[in-house]
Amino acid sequence: MFENMKKLIKFYEEVLSMPHRQEIARELRNEDDLFMLLLYSEMIGIPNPVYYYTLELYPHMIEEFHDWHLRMGMDKSPLNGIRCC
């Protein structure tokens, strides 16, 4: 009985989230792009007051940056300071 209730609840959640799945994915991608902009803003000339702290994230974000510039249609990295390819 309890397992059937869990399946019913899971099915109900799937039905509710189905029409919004693409919208949620797009919103998450936009948030990631904004975070990338904040992280690399100093390299494109936008002053970043927390540049010192975001510097520590570069090694962890190189792979995501590479995926981002390929998704944007750029074969090579658009920033000179980052060599991901």
Task: List the domain boundaries for the chain.
Answer: 22-72
Quote the pTM value: 0.61
Look at residue 27 in the predicted model and tell me its pLDDT.
92
For residues 36 and 58, the answer to whether their CB atoms sit within 8 Å is no
CA dihedral 34, 39, 43, 46 (to 10 degrees): 60
- pLDDT tens for residues 19-61? 788 888 899 999 988 888 888 888 788 888 888 888 888 888 8
- pLDDT tens for residues 56-75? 888 888 888 888 888 888 88
Average pLDDT of every residue of the chain: 84
